[in-house]
Chains A and B, each alone.
Chain A
Amino acid sequence: MAQDGELVARVAQGDGNAFRELYGRFADRVFRYALTLLRNRHLAEEVVQETMVAVWQGAGSFAGRSQVSSWIFGIARNQAYRLLREEEKGERTANEPTCAPDPADVVEQEDRVRDAVAALPPGEREVVFLAFYEGLSYREIAGLLGIPEGTVKSRMYHAKRRLAEVLSPWTAGRQAS
């Protein structure tokens, strides 16, 4: 199986099959990242579209200095906040979905862990997702978010404490059962 970097190099040459494969590897991950950031399913779908089109158009500019996942999540993050700003300014067309709570949130609320993550401050939520689901190191996250490593560690430290407070009785119960 081709490495992510090889796929990006092929995409840069206009290889549609490589792009299809790269999309398959990242679409759900980008969607979940965007959903974690924005908590809006419609906007998250748009983030996937905008991100993958940007990947197709900008693959030639990927220098390989970071992981492909860091590069793609960086694009997704920019797109997510751009869409959010447009949404808040009311610049988006009337038939676009609004920022109202999405039905997907109802599904999320069925799971206590996702509910607890959703209740975290946005910066902590993002760090938790990137660290535990994407497996990025604190250095990679600091680079992606453009913040000091100490801030990333601090966000994680506080997120872990908040999550442990909410989830400890439940996870301990599950462990015992």
Chain B
Amino acid sequence: MDCRQAGELTPWYVAGSLPEGEARDLVRHVAGCATCQDELVQAARLARELRRAFAGMPGASQGTWAKVAARAQGMPLARVDVGSFLLGLSVGLTATRTGVPVTGRLQILGREVPVFEVGTGGER
């Protein structure tokens, strides 16, 4: 391996994705090359700065999930469970083509029984 090849592989090594065989060859070259040792230190520093910079970028806005769920249809937007496996009640908001109905389900021994649904034009 020469310095040019080592320079191509160094970023992938510090990113942690270089295949084992190539990583071994790179380390062998770097161990005997002061120039590539400096290059490796610089690349590791750059990798750390880049990861920090990307992680500090903004994320998707809070409202995006509701839009995705509404378009996917039938997706639960929110769900609250009270009680236990033996006896409990779930109240959920679900996005559908016609709106955002609220549904309630009684859980008895792990089986769910619909008890009410409002917001779809027809109440149960």
Whether B60 sits at the interface, judged by CB under 8 Å, is yes
Q: A117-B53, A131-B12 are in contact. List 10 more A-B contacts (CB 8 A).
A: A19-B75, A36-B54, A49-B64, A49-B68, A52-B72, A133-B51, A135-B17, A157-B11, A163-B46, A168-B42
> Which residues of A lie under 8 Å from residue B12 when comparing CB positions?
131, 137-138, 153, 156
Whether B101 sits at the interface, judged by CB under 8 Å, is no
**Given the complex of chains A and B, what is the CA–CA distance between A31 and B122 in angstroms?**
38
* Given A107-B58, A160-B43, residue A27 in contact with residue B49 (CB < 8 A): no
* Given A19-B72, A117-B53, A137-B19, residue A45 in contact with residue B42 (CB < 8 A): no
Task: Say whether B52 contacts A131, CB under 8 Å.
Answer: no
Task: Say whether B50 contacts A113, CB under 8 Å.
Answer: yes
Total interface residues on B, CB under 8 Å, equals 39
Could you tell me the distance in whole angstroms from the C-beta of B93 to the nearest C-beta in chain A? 12
Task: Say whether A136 contacts B59, CB under 8 Å.
Answer: no
Task: Say whether A171 contacts B45, CB under 8 Å.
Answer: yes
**Given the complex of chains A and B, what is the CA–CA distance between A45 and B17 in angstroms?**
29
**Given the complex of chains A and B, what is the CA–CA distance between A48 and B64 in angstroms?**
8
